[in-house]
Amino acid sequence: MKIKIFAQAAAAALVVFAAEHSYAGCGRVASASQFDSFYAPLWGCAQTNINDMWSRFAFDAADWGGDMGYSNVCDDSTPLKRTFNAMQLLAYGMTNAPTCSTSSSNVGMWAYCWAGDNIDEIYPTCETGGTRAKTQFGTFVDNYTKLYQPFFYDETVVQRAGTLFHEARHANGWCSHTSTCADGGDSCDPNFSSGCVGTGSGSGPGANGYTVLYMNWFATTARSNWINTAIRANAVSEGNYYLTRRFGTDPCFRMNSAGYTFKTC
Amino acid sequence: MMRNVMAAIFALAVAGCASRHDESSRQVVSVSHLSTPPVGSLSVSSDSAYEFLDFRAQSALRGRLTESEFAALNVHTNQSALRELYAHAESDSSHCDGGGDGYLVTSVLGTACFVVSAIADSQSRAHLEFLASLLSQKAHK
């Protein structure tokens, strides 16, 4: 899929900042409390950043046309811009110099590059049903990450960044979920430290563990101008919700209001 | 040998399954209080289970809302109620760092700070007061 990268990067460079008109994709109204208006000015919809995201995540203009936002790329109400805002948080929320080296235990140093390297291609849909995102991975199959309507309009920028990191873990480690946890469905990891299941899957924390790691590092080490009281509370809430509901075995720790962990059993 | 190789290839091929967030329940609301006791966070799921995290005692209290509690919660957290409440979000969320009547609410509309005494509209204020009361009840169980 990534053989298209250079052509797409060139296409991205030609993205025209169309005249502003307010509409939301999928017929949804964007909430003002999901932090897009907080993060948008921090990266300024810079073309160089857009080009970098476009190539790393193998966006395809054909997938993001119409209400998805390709022709209105700096409008925070569109799925495309809301995805961009999350990717920029993934990149710059904890550092002004994101790296591709995964040597740091702070995932915020490398989450953006790593997610881009592991997600083969990314595309949107207005489908609902509660699903936020889906990643297909494996040999002899088309690898992709599909973002659903709730990803764009029921998640904050912080949650979206966590979801991208989560999906990248699926793609990277072939980590599937089980149905054995409080939230059930196909949303569970067996436990925090060993959460990958499925044929050919890797070891270590699974996708839910990666969500928790991202929220924990973000809440405790975010750059001061990339976080505020509400945003930190959102990260802590998301991390704690995963810890409570998304593991077969309770990890026995939670985060306090500052994001630091404490034992609960 | 060849059979093993083919089996391995087949196993890898079928590893191409989808992974998604297909949860059968999800968070309805989370309410946090950071200044005066109770200092902690209450999270309620769509299956009516809740967890109160006491940030000072560093402990977790879990349970399930009664049917009437859960029904009341739904009245105060349906889309219409949430939109009414979120219209009164503080523009500066640091107002929830201090002061006793500030609450951070998380829902599908996002996370925002709300101050009870700053909400003049009685209906919107009732939504917040319900959430604050529920947090206080579950903190003291």
Q: For an interface test with B, which of A37, A245, A246 has the most B Cβ atoms less than 10 Å from its Cβ?
A: A245
pTM attached to this predicted model: 0.90
Nearest CB among A134, A136, A233 relative to B106 is that of A233
The verdict on B5 touching A (C-beta cutoff 8 Å) is: no
Task: Check whether B15 has a pLDDT greater than 50.
Answer: no
Chain A residues whose CB is inside 8 A of the B23 CB are 130, 183-185, 187, 245-246
What's residue B18's pLDDT? 53
Chain B residues whose CB is inside 8 A of the A183 CB are 23-26, 45
The number of CA neighbours under 13 Å toward the Cβ of A237 is 32
Nearest CB among B9, B24, B113 relative to A230 is that of B113
Nearest CB among A183, A184, A198 relative to B17 is that of A198
ipTM of this complex = 0.89
What's the mean pLDDT when you consider all of chain B?
A: 88
Nearest partner of A47 among A16, A4, A69, A76, judged by Cα: A16
Nearest CB among A134, A200, A231 relative to B18 is that of A134
- At B74, the pLDDT band (50, 70, 90 cuts) reads very high
Chain A residues whose CB is inside 8 A of the B89 CB are 32-33
**CB A54, CB A48: distance < 8 Å:** no
**CB A198, CB A176: distance < 8 Å:** yes
Output Rg (C-alpha) for chain B, integer angstroms: 21
Task: Check whether B6 has a pLDDT greater than 60.
Answer: no
**CB A217, CB B23: distance < 8 Å:** no
Nearest CB among B22, B49, B111 relative to A234 is that of B111
A216 phi and psi angles, rounded to 5 deg: -65, -50
Nearest CB among A156, A207, A236 relative to B19 is that of A207
What's residue B68's pLDDT? 98
- Residue B38 to residues A38, A210, A256, B45, Cα–Cα distance (Å): 29, 30, 13, 20
Domain residue ranges of chain B, discontinuous segments joined by +: 22-139
What's residue B115's pLDDT? 97
Q: Of chain B residues 63-82, which have a CB less than 8 A from chain A?
A: none
Strand partners, A144: A136
CB contact under 8 A, B32 and A257: yes
Q: Average pLDDT of B56-74?
A: 97
What's residue B21's pLDDT? 58
Chain B residues whose CB is inside 8 A of the A263 CB are 58
Chain B residues whose CB is inside 8 A of the A175 CB are 19
Cα–Cα distance between B133 and B125 in angstroms, integer? 12
Per-residue exposure over B107-120, b if at least 16 CB sit within 10 Å of its own CB, e if not: bbbbbbbbbbeebe
Output Rg (C-alpha) for chain A, integer angstroms: 17
**CB A158, CB A238: distance < 8 Å:** yes
The verdict on B128 touching A (C-beta cutoff 8 Å) is: no
CB contact under 8 A, B15 and A138: yes
Q: For an interface test with A, which of B5, B14, B23, B36 has the most A Cβ atoms less than 10 Å from its Cβ?
A: B23
CB contact under 8 A, A34 and B60: no
Nearest CB among A154, A183, A254 relative to B25 is that of A183
What's residue B100's pLDDT? 86
Q: Average pLDDT of B46-73?
A: 97
Distance of CA B74 to the CA centre of its chain: 13
**CB A247, CB A189: distance < 8 Å:** yes
**Alpha-carbon gap: A13 to the closest alpha carbon of chain B (Å):** 32
Task: Check whether B71 has a pLDDT greater than 70.
Answer: yes
The verdict on A140 touching B (C-beta cutoff 8 Å) is: yes
- At B20, the pLDDT band (50, 70, 90 cuts) reads low
Nearest partner of B40 among B25, B50, B49, judged by Cα: B50
- Residue A105 in 3-state DSSP? coil
Per-residue exposure over A151-171, b if at least 16 CB sit within 10 Å of its own CB, e if not: bbbbbbbbbbbbbbbbbbbbb
Q: How many domains does chain A have?
A: 1
- Residue A87 to residues A26, A51, A224, Cα–Cα distance (Å): 20, 12, 18
Which residue stretches of chain A have pLDDT < 70?
A: 1-24
**CB A148, CB A210: distance < 8 Å:** no
What's residue A210's pLDDT? 97
Interstrand relation of B102-107 and B27-33 (parallel, antiparallel or unpaired): antiparallel
User: Which residues constitute the domain of residue A79?
Assistant: 2-263
Please list the alpha-helical segments (H only) found in chain A: 5-13, 36-43, 47-56, 79-92, 111-118, 149-153, 157-173, 207-221, 229-245
**Alpha-carbon gap: B86 to the closest alpha carbon of chain A (Å):** 8
What's the mean pLDDT when you consider all of chain A?
A: 90
What's residue A7's pLDDT? 41
